[in-house]
């Protein structure tokens, strides 16, 4: 079978090395000039337990995982029941397993997938010091037609430092695995593609969390404070060694309350700052986000969403922090909420958020999620953006300097400590223009107006949403749900269903005019999100004029939104009469 | 930190030059007035340029103090003065950073930050105006309130809890400079503060500062306080002094030469070089930050521990 893309999963107990094998496969695919995406799936155990590396490879950039796996290789069956739902199999799928690990479990067999038995353990034994994950890697690479040279090049990098012996053992494993390919009745090679001539465009391999980290640096962030929480920690782990290279620093805080307040302190001092967290941490930061609003101190918080509420499902994705991000702050507290909609976009959206937060002197929340944050992709080199932190500062404040002066655009020049003549006290208490605390009605009204106006009056440009295609049907979505929606729209087009995509990036402040424009001529809309209660749907209903017919499609994590299920919804919508 | 020597060019600043024209909300007779006086005196003694000083606080009567001084200020949320001050001090080592607040702010809601600020030892001065009561919310027991104080409607029979011991905790947690002062002796406090502000690390001063409204009996503080602490760099000696302390001993208890917090350093680089790590072709194993390449074992079979929360 020649396929447009290949989806495969490698599973095994923690320690068998399936993640490492998956990663090598992804990197080798990149070496071979392919594109790819790798998602990790695992339970909450610290070590051991079952883990799955889920990959999708293609000759074109990939948006998200496919409906079904083409290939499923199990080193053992561990706690497969916990994962089965996330590893969808169909009749065209091939399951490879080692008979030595026992029968194929019912949850897998029931799917009707083809089965192929390969004695992985035995084969591994034939190589002195061999590892089953490397044998599996050799087998899979052979089955999908991945050039051996690319694989060896990658292995060289990964294992090179460990010496010739290790490398030779690994190569022997790959060879032994590849020889088993004949026994597997499937042909999964990717569609043939002519080798590109001349210079290949630059490709990057990165996770959404790394992308967010780079976006922060490009935006001008030079200070970070954080408290670890899955799945956001990778961002700050990536930033910690990089910030000092640019003259900045990162402090590990004692908790999230401290992290966000440290960021505010640094920002008050003139240093653009960022912190990263996930649901429970965001909940703790909320009071201080209000302080950032009131004191007009820029700060960026990347919330990498996971299943909630409470401690929820730390290792798996969901989009259910939307409500707290939009509405969690007490009082009337206008602020920015920006959602990247792909791994690459984690870079640009974070960079943009730094720029906006600084320009508007307010907090910006970046709503990423585990599915983007912890997935690693091979992408085209992201187009560099020139958004930077450009804070309006008061460089020569006069006698009459008013920190919170009500200006035409609501942004007032900020005196940075060290600036002669600019001394003022930043305050979370309501204040007069000078900053002095006030409970006077007119001061409150004036400052509330100012803080709202600076956000609503700003021109966010086209980047507020990705709007693609046309037609009477529209799919409105956001964040990582955008990938599967885009793919569903492609497939729908092939069936003659045309629809437009509206992927909202700027969630707050709302953009009623831009949305009205985006929805012009639309009679029916489908709203797609990964939540249980339809938070995005309710948000849209509260703030926008939607077409008369709106179909909401949402389910919670950890099951990903699949292109096929979105397509099914689109088909239904296409059949409905316009109301 | 700026030193007196830098300032010869400017005309001499007087204590009143560090006062803003905002009128304090404090009750007449509140101990916090004395603290404000002492702070402005200390700043004048050090001749610190106003713009090079930042004064951070949380919430409470005492936390209003930054607005009353003519330096940069940040009046934040309840209990979080220390993180704000730490972030500022770490990112702007050129500033003199002073954090202040009440005992409720610092030891109750902000208790965790207090311990960790002592451990972290960032170069800043933290001043707690301790009146053993929540003044701003009208007289509830604070962590430093006597366990049998029945003056609050919220704990009509007294809080019944052991009193929080700020100095003992600061000492245990690793603060390198620890002192107790009395707001009724602004000169003494100013002297300590002058020393603390110049101290290269986390300096903690507990100031007994009466709340004349909800704890009128604290007007007696002036009769109770007495000098007594002898500065030492020996923790054992410092603890011994605390064993004999009646809660009203003043002076510097502990002063040790412990290196202040230093952020990590690295070879300078630029954004393009940093971004290059993502290029396919050059992308290699990054054992520290890459979650997929632990490779602690030959043959690469070991996956990293899977994170939980
Ligand atoms: C999160 C939060 N909880 C409660 C309060 C209410 N509150 C304001 S000040 C205060 C206590 C102040 O006591 P203390 O820090 O001892 O300062 P004092 O007023 O005595 O100077 C409290 C509980 C608040 N502002 N924020
Ligand atoms: S209530 Fe107490 S602490 Fe507050 S201002 Fe009055 S005297 Fe001072």
What is the predicted ipTM? Answer: 0.95
| Helices vs. strands in chain A: H and E counts, helices first | 19, 21
* Residues B249 and B279 both lie in one domain: no
Domain count within chain B: 2
Helices A208-219 and A233-242: crossing angle in degrees, nearest 10, is 50
With contacts defined as CB-CB under 8 Å, which chain A residues touch B71? 423
Does residue B40 belong to any structural domain of this protein?
yes
3-state helix, strand, coil in chain A (%, to 5): 40, 20, 40
Which pLDDT belongs to residue A247?
98
Q: What is the whole-number distance in angstroms between the Cα of residue A72 and the centre of ligand 2?
A: 70
Which pLDDT belongs to residue B237?
98
* Residues B244 and B272 both lie in one domain: no
B70 burial level (CB within 10 Å; 0-12, 13-18, 19+): buried
* Residues B183 and B292 both lie in one domain: no
Beta bridge partners of A205: A378
| A256 inside 8 A of chain B by CB | no
Q: What is the whole-number distance in angstroms between the Cα of residue B32 and the centre of ligand 2?
A: 8
Which pLDDT belongs to residue B218?
98
Distance CA A336, CA B86 (A): 25
**Residue B309 — pLDDT band, cuts 50, 70, 90?**
very low
Question: A88: part of which helix (H) or strand (E)?
Answer: none
A240-255 pLDDT tens trace: 999 999 999 999 999 9
Does residue B294 belong to any structural domain of this protein?
yes
Nearest one of A25, A377, A157 to B283, comparing CA atoms: A157
Contact A251 B87 (CB under 8 A): yes
* Residues B147 and B208 both lie in one domain: yes
* Residues B127 and B273 both lie in one domain: no
Domains of chain A, CATH where assigned = 5-183 (3.40.920.10), 205-380 (3.40.50.970), 392-458 (no CATH), 465-576 (3.40.50.920)
Residue whose CA lies nearest to ligand 1 atom number 11:
B134
Share the mean pLDDT of chain A: 94
Does residue B237 belong to any structural domain of this protein?
yes
Report the b/e string of B76-96 with b at 16+ CB within 10 A: bbbbbbbbbbbbbbbbbeebb
For A:422-451, CB contacts with B below 8 A are 422-429, 435-437
* Residues B36 and B145 both lie in one domain: yes
A311-340 pLDDT tens trace: 999 989 999 999 999 999 999 999 999 999
For A:500-519, CB contacts with B below 8 A are none
* Residues B42 and B142 both lie in one domain: yes
Does residue B307 belong to any structural domain of this protein?
no
Contact B263 A257 (CB under 8 A): no
* Residues B114 and B227 both lie in one domain: yes
Q: What is the whole-number distance in angstroms between the Cα of residue B134 and the centre of ligand 1?
A: 6
* Residues B176 and B287 both lie in one domain: no
Q: How far apart are the first and last CA of chain A?
A: 43
For A:131-150, CB contacts with B below 8 A are 131-134
* Residues B247 and B279 both lie in one domain: no
| Number of alpha carbons in the 13 Å side-chain half-sphere of residue A173 | 29
Q: Does A522 score more than 60 pLDDT? A: yes
Helix (H, G, I), strand (E, B) or coil at A473: strand
Q: Is the dihedral of CA B25, B27, B32, B33 positive or negative?
A: positive
Q: Do the beta carbons of residue B45 and residue A414 sit within 8 Å? A: no
What tokens were used for A264? 């505010």
Q: Give the pLDDT mean for A257-284.
A: 98
A130-161 pLDDT tens trace: 999 999 999 999 999 999 889 998 888 888 77
* Residues B274 and B166 both lie in one domain: no
Does residue B1 belong to any structural domain of this protein?
no
Q: Is the preceding omega at residue A231 within 30 degrees of 0, hence cis?
A: yes
Distance CA B220, CA B128 (A): 19
CA distances from B104 to A78, A287, B114, B134 (A): 52, 18, 12, 6
With contacts defined as CB-CB under 8 Å, which chain B residues touch A210? 278
A187-210 pLDDT tens trace: 676 665 655 566 778 999 999 999
Q: Do the beta carbons of residue A96 and residue A116 sit within 8 Å? A: yes
What tokens were used for B6? 């830098």
Structural domain of B222: 12-255
Query: CATH no. for residue B59?
Result: 3.40.50.970
A97-141 pLDDT tens trace: 999 999 999 999 999 999 999 999 999 999 999 999 999 999 999
Q: How far apart are the first and last CA of chain B?
A: 40
CA of B215, closest atom in ligand 2: 2
Q: What is the whole-number distance in angstroms between the Cα of residue B207 and the centre of ligand 2?
A: 14
Q: Does B306 score more than 50 pLDDT? A: no
Does residue B197 belong to any structural domain of this protein?
yes
Name the percent of chain A lying above pLDDT 90.
85
Name the percent of chain B lying above pLDDT 90.
87
Instruction: Return the DSSP state at A3.
Output: B
Q: Do the beta carbons of residue A542 and residue A505 sit within 8 Å? A: no
Nearest one of A303, A294, A279, A338 to A505, comparing CA atoms: A338
């Amino acid at each position: 079978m020649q396929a447009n893309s290949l989806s495969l999963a490698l599973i095994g107990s923690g320690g068998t090395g399936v993640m490492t094998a998956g990663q090598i496969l992804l990197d080798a695919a990149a070496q071979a000039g392919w594109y790819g995406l790798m998602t990790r799936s695992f339970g909450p155990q610290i070590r051991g337990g079952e883990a799955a590396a889920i990959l999708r490879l293609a000759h074109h950039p990939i948006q998200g995982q496919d409906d079904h796996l083409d290939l499923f290789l199990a080193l053992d069956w561990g706690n497969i029941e916990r994962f089965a739902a996330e590893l969808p199999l169909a009749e065209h799928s091939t399951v490879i397993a080692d008979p030595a690990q026992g029968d194929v479990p019912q949850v897998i067999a029931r799917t009707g997938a083809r089965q192929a038995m390969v004695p992985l353990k035995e084969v591994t034994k034939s190589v002195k010091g061999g590892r089953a994950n490397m044998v599996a890697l050799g087998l899979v690479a052979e089955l999908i037609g991945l050039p051996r040279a690319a694989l060896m090049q990658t292995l060289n990098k990964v294992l090179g430092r460990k010496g010739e012996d290790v490398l030779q053992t690994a190569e022997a494993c790959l060879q032994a695995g590849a020889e088993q390919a004949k026994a597997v009745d499937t042909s999964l090679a990717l569609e043939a593609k002519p080798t590109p001539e001349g210079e290949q465009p630059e490709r990057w391999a990165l996770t959404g969390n790394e992308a967010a980290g780079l976006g922060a640096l490009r935006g001008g962030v030079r200070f970070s404070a954080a408290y670890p929480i899955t799945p956001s920690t990778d961002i700050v782990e990536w930033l910690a060694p990089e910030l000092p290279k640019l003259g900045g620093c990162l402090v590990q805080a004692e908790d999230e309350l401290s992290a966000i307040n440290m960021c505010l302190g640094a920002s008050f001092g003139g240093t653009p700052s960022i912190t990263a967290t996930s649901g429970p941490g965001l909940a703790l930061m909320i009071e201080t986000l209000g302080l950032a609003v009131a004191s007009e101190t820029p700060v960026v918080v990347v919330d990498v969403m996971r299943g909630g509420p409470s401690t929820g499902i730390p290792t798996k994705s969901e989009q259910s922090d939307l409500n707290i991000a939009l509405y969690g702050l007490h009082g009337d507290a206008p602020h920015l909420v920006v959602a990247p909609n792909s791994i690459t976009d984690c870079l640009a959206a974070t960079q943009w958020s730094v720029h906006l937060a600084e320009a508007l002197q307010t907090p910006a929340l970046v709503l990423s999620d585990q599915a983007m944050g912890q997935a690693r992709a091979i992408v085209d080199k992201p187009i560099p953006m020139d958004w930077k932190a450009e804070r309006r500062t008061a460089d020569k404040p006069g006698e009459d300097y008013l920190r919170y002066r009500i200006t035409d655009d609501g942004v007032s020049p900020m005196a940075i400590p060290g600036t002669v003549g600019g001394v003022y006290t930043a305050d979370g208490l309501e204040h007069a223009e000078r900053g002095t605390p006030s409970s006077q009605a007119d001061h409150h009204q004036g400052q509330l107006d100012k803080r709202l106006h600076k956000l609503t009056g700003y021109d966010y440009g086209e980047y507020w949403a990705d709007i693609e295609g046309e037609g009477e049907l529209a799919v409105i979505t956001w964040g990582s749900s955008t990938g599967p929606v885009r793919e569903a729209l492609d497939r729908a087009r092939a069936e003659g269903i045309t629809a437009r995509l509206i992927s909202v990036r700027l969630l707050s402040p709302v953009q009623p005019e831009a949305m009205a424009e985006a929805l012009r001529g639309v009679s029916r809309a489908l709203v797609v999100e990964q939540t249980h209660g339809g938070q995005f749907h309710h948000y849209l209903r509260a703030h926008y004029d939607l077409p008369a017919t709106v179909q909401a499609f949402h389910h919670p994590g950890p099951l990903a939104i699949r292109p096929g299920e979105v397509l099914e919804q689109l088909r239904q919508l296409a059949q409905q009469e316009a109301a | 930190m700026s030193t007196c020597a830098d300032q010869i060019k400017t005309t001499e600043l007087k204590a009143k030059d560090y006062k803003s024209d905002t009128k304090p909300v404090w009750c007449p007779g509140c101990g916090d007035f004395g603290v404000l006086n002492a702070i402005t005196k200390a700043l004048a003694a050090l001749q610190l340029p106003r713009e090079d000083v930042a004064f951070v606080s949380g919430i409470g009567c005492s936390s209003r103090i930054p607005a009353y001084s003519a330096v940069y200020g940040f009046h934040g949320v309840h209990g979080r003065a220390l993180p704000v001050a730490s972030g500022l001090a770490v990112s702007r080592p050129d500033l003199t950073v002073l954090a202040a607040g009440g005992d409720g702010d610092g030891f109750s809601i902000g208790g965790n930050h207090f311990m960790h600020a002592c451990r972290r030892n960032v170069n800043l001065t933290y001043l707690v105006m301790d009146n053993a009561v929540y003044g701003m919310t009208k007289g509830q027991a604070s962590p430093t309130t006597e366990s049998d104080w029945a003056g609050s409607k919220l704990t009509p029979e007294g809080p019944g809890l052991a009193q929080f011991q700020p100095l003992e905790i600061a000492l245990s947690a690793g603060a390198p400079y620890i002192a107790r002062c009395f707001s009724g002796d602004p000169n003494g406090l100013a002297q300590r503060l002058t020393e603390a502000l110049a101290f290269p690390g986390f300096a903690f001063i507990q100031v007994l500062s009466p709340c004349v409204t909800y704890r009128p009996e604290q007007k007696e503080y002036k009769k109770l306080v007495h000098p007594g602490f002898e500065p030492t760099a020996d923790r054992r000696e410092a603890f011994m002094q605390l064993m004999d302390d009646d809660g009203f001993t003043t002076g510097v208890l502990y002063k040790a030469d412990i290196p202040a917090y230093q952020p990590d350093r690295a070879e300078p680089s630029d954004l393009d070089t940093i971004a290059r790590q993502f290029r396919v072709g050059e992308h290699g194993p990054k054992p520290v930050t890459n979650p997929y390449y632990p490779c602690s074992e030959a043959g690469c079979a070991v996956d990293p521990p899977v994170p939980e929360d």
